[in-house]
Amino acid sequence: MRPLLIIESTCDETAVAVVDERHQVLSSVVASQEALHERFGGVVPEIAARAHLERMLPTIDQALEQAGLELSEISGIAVANTPGLAGSLLVGVAAAKALCVAFDLPLLAVNHLQAHIYACQLTSERNVFPCIGFIVSGGHTNLYRCESPLDFTLLGSTIDDAAGEAFDKVASMLGLTYPGGPSIQKAAENGDPKKYSFPRSFLHQPDRMEFSFSGLKTAVRYQISRTEPPHIAIQNLNSQEIADLAASFQAAVVEVLVGKVLQAVEKYQLPRICVGGGVAANRAFRERLTNQCQKKNVELVIAPNSLCTDNAVMGAIAWERWRAGLFESLDLDAYPGLVRQD
């Protein structure tokens, strides 16, 4: 079977990949918009949508060129159509539909969150299902019971901010660059994770498959204004204070994330954990989770960093839909908030 062309434009990365049914990656291009959003300290939806529009066709061309293929040599087009930013999703969905019409190709839909978990299937040499799927990204902190690549049940999620969002907001409070996750990770290297004792919401409530990071964010904000001398301006924090705040914040997030996913795997008696999303690239998180899973004899699959942050390769989950005959018509819509039930 000829490969699929996969389009991902749910947030701020315009990504296109060409992947065959045996999961051989013939090309993968990610056109990042980080530089455009950096000065705002977060993704600006209007800017993201316009940037996707500019980058979409060149990124598709580049992916085809790298794969050494023409569109006439592609089996079908897959596109992430949920969840994400409305304007961003629409650009990808419109591009995919146009290619399907022009080249008479079948259209497949990709659920971006399921694709994040599927990155683990692509990484692992064997079947990772059933598993607890854990998505820790800029927009989501979701725990799933994943029976198969097409059967995901949401167990719980954040009641306020997502973990990545908390990283981004706290980084901005500390005057660190966007995206906040990598900046906090770097600053934390020289900090003391025990210097400040920040809240760990729901960690000691194993029956509640929920997360909350807004109280933690507020606690960091209060700590900044309490740092000696009192009411110090953020721009006057010295580098050691920034490092200690970053390390203590990161330790609180990591402890909660690791604690809750282990509670889930125990509660639902599943053999393994699969983790995806940008925050899964965090070194402290990977180390602690790896360590704890070894101790508790739970199998862990985390994709390499390049497959954790947004990319189109993980959209190879579309091959599962292909095999199940789940094709889309040309009135496929974009669902920003709605995780469509399959």
**Closer residue to ligand KG4 in complex, CB, 3/164:** 164
Q: Give the number of residues written for the chain.
A: 342
Q: Using alpha carbons, select from 98, 138, 110 the residue that is nearest to residue 8.
A: 110
Q: Which residue number is nearest to ligand KG4 in terms of Cβ? A: 181
By CB under 6 A, name the one of 76, 164, 191, 315 that touches ligand KG4: 164
Q: Which two tokens stand for residue 296?
A: 């508790």
Q: Is residue 167 involved in binding ligand KG4 (CB under 6 A)? A: yes
Report d(CA 132, CA 146) in Å as an integer.
6
* 295 exposure class (CB count in 10 Å sphere: 0-12, 13-18, 19+): exposed
Measuring CA to CA, which residue among 186, 326, 192 is closest to residue 247? 192
Listed ranges 60-68, 94-102, 179-187, 241-249: which one lies at the site for ligand KG4 (CB under 6 A):
179-187
String of contacts with ligand KG4 for each residue 4-43, x by CB under 6 A = -------x--------------------------------
- Least gap, CB of 92 to ligand KG4 (angstroms): 13
**Pick from 48, 126, 86, 96: which is nearest to 299 by CA?**
126
Rounded Cα distance, 138 and 161, in Å: 9
Amino acid at residue number 208:
R
Site for ligand KG4 contains 138 (CB under 6 A) = yes
Comparing CB distances to ligand KG4, the nearer of 51 and 74 is 51
Phi/psi for 318 (5° steps) reads -60, -25
Site string for ligand KG4, 235-274 (x = CB under 6 A): ----------------------------------------
End-to-end CA distance of the chain, in Å? 25
Q: Would you count residue 279 as binding ligand KG4 (CB under 6 A)?
A: yes
Among 185, 223, 248, 263, binds ligand KG4 (CB under 6 A): 185
Residue 28 or 282 having the CB closest to ligand KG4: 282
Residues that bind ligand KG4 (CB under 6 A): 11, 137-139, 164, 167-168, 179-182, 185, 277-279, 281-282, 309-310
